[in-house]
A = this chain, B = another copy of it.
Amino acid sequence: MNAPQNSLTTPVLPPELITRLQQAVGEARVHLDSDTLKTWGKDWTKHFEPNPSVVVFPANTLEVQAVVKLANEFGIAITPSGGRTGLSAGAVAANGEIVVSLDRMNKVIDFLPADRMVRIQAGVVTEQLQQFAEEQGLYYPVDFASAGSSQIGGNIGTNAGGIKVIKYGMTRQWVLGMTVVTGKGDILRLNKGMIKNATGYDLRHLMIGAEGTLGIVCEVDIKLERQPQDLRVLVLGVPEFAAVMHILQAFQNRLDLTAFEFFNELAIQKVIAHTGIPRPFESACPFYVLLEFEGKFEAVVDDAMQTFEHCMEQGWVIDGVMSQNQSQAATLWRLREDISETIAAFTPYKNDISVLITHVPAFIADIDAIVTEFYPDFEICWFGHIGDGNLHLNILKPANLTKDEFFEKCKVVNKHVFETVQKYDGSISAEHGVGMTKKDYLHYTRDEVEIEYLREIKKVFDPKGIMNPGKIF
C-alpha cells in the first residue's frame, strides 16, 4: 500500500450528518480517524488511494437502514465493506464515501438442521461459516484462498467461486435467502430460505454479483451440505494442453469430481523453489492436473485408478500420483494453492478470465501467442479451475523492469487479452467482479444494450445513485 497522496484530502461531512450517524449506530461506531479511514477505505487491490469520509460499524439491519436513509437524505455515497479481500477494487472508497463496514454483523442467527440451513449476518467470515458447518457435522463448500478474511456479504457481492465449483457451484447456489437494505432504504426479505418459490422475479439473484451497487446484504440464509468423506487427490503430469480436456472428460464420465485444477510447469517450479515441497513425481511436464474426488468406497478409488491407467495408455498422462491419506492430499493441494502466494514476489499482472471449457485450448494458445509476440521475455504462469473454464493468467514481472514500466507494458497486452476473451464469448472477470479495475473493459463481455438494462435496474433500487457509485459501470 502506498501512502495517500497529499493532493487527496478527506471531504468534510456536514456536522449534522455525523451527529445523526452517531445517533443511528452509536457514537463509538462512527470513526473519523485517518488510520481507520485508510484501512477500511481499501481492499486487496493496490491501485487506488483510499479516501472515505467516515467509517460506520452498524450492528444490525435496522442500523444499516438508518445509515442508508441518511446517505440518501444528505446525498453522500456509501461503500459497503466486508472482508476487503476483493481484487477489483469493489470495496475501495476513494471519493469521500461513507464506508459501511459489516465487521460487527458477524453473528450466527439460527440453525435449522432439517433444512441444513444456517441464518447468519452478512459480516460472518467465510472460514467462520465453514467451521460452524463442521461443528454441525455439515459442510460449506465455497472455498478459496481468502476464506480466512472474506465475509459472506462480500462473497455474495462477487458471487465468489473458488476451488470446488465443479461439484458445488458458486456462492449463488448456497444462498437460499437474504435480507437486504436497498439503495432506497427499503428492507427486503428475499426468498426466506426456500428451495422452491415461484412467485415472481427472484430479486435475490439480482443482488448476487451486484458488488454492493443495489443495496447492502445484511442477513443471509445459507444452505449447508453433507461433509465429503475420504477426499483423494490425484496430480497428473500432462504432455500437451489438449490432453487436459481428454482427462477431464474421462474422469467426469466415471466419477463425481470435487475439483479439477490445472497449472503449468513454470507455476510448479516457482512453488517448489518457494516452499521446498518436493515434486509430485520425477518427470517434469509442461502441464499438471490436480483432481479430487470422494474415495469413501474402494470401488470408487478403483474406478479412479482404472481411469488413470486409461489416460496413461492414451498418452494423455505421463506420470501421476494419488494421495493415500489426508496429509498427502494436503501436500498435493499446496502445489496448486500456494501458487498465488509464491508468485506475489514477482509482482504478477493478474487476470481472472473465463471461457467455455471447449474453447480453453484455443484461448490459451492465442494468449500465449500474443504475449510471446509483444514481450517474448515475459513469463506466463497459468493456473486455474479448468473444470469451470476459469483461468488465472499471471504474467510475471521480469527483474529488469520497474513495477510501473511492467504494468505500462501489461496495459498494452490487456486490450489484446480482452479482445481474445470477446472472440471466444468469454468473461473478463470470472469470479473477482468488475469493481473499478475492470469497468473500462466491461463491454468486452456485456454489450452496450445489455449494460443499459443494468443501468436502468440500478435506478430501480438506488434512484439517487448512492450505493457504491463508480463500480461495475
Chain A contacts to B: CB under 8 angstroms: 112-117, 137, 158-159, 161, 165, 169-170, 173, 182, 186-190, 192-203, 205-206, 208-210, 214, 226, 245, 248-249, 252-253, 256, 296-300, 354-358, 360, 385, 388-390, 425-434, 438, 442, 445-447, 449-451, 453-454, 456-457, 460-461, 472-473
Contacts and interface: CB of A to CB of B under 8 A. Distances in A.
Contacts of A256: 226
Contacts of A169: 173
Nearest to A245: B114
B115 A197 contact: no
Of A201, A208, A226, A445, most buried by chain B (CB within 10 Å of CB) is: A201
29 contacts: A112-B358, A114-B357, A115-B356, A161-B196, A165-B195, A186-B449, A187-B449, A189-B447, A190-B450, A192-B426, A193-B356, A194-B354, A195-B354, A195-B389, A197-B427, A197-B429, A197-B430, A198-B429, A198-B431, A199-B433, A200-B209, A200-B472, A200-B473, A201-B206, A201-B209, A201-B214, A202-B208, A297-B300, A457-B460
Of A116, A194, A451, most buried by chain B (CB within 10 Å of CB) is: A194
B389 A433 contact: no
A426 B253 CA distance: 38
A44 B142 CA distance: 41
Nearest to A137: B253
A201 B196 contact: no
Contact of A114 (B114, B210, B249, B354): B249
A427 B196 contact: yes
A97 to B, nearest CB: 20
Contacts of A442: 199-200
A203 B453 contact: yes
Contact of A390 (B161, B195, B210, B390): B195
Nearest to A386: B114
Given A297-B297, A460-B460, A196 B389 contact: yes
Given A173-B173, A206-B206, A198 B434 contact: yes
A114 B241 CA distance: 14
Given A209-B202, A460-B456, A249 B113 contact: yes
Given A208-B202, A389-B115, A445 B197 contact: yes
Of A206, A432, A433, most buried by chain B (CB within 10 Å of CB) is: A206
Contacts of A208: 202, 205
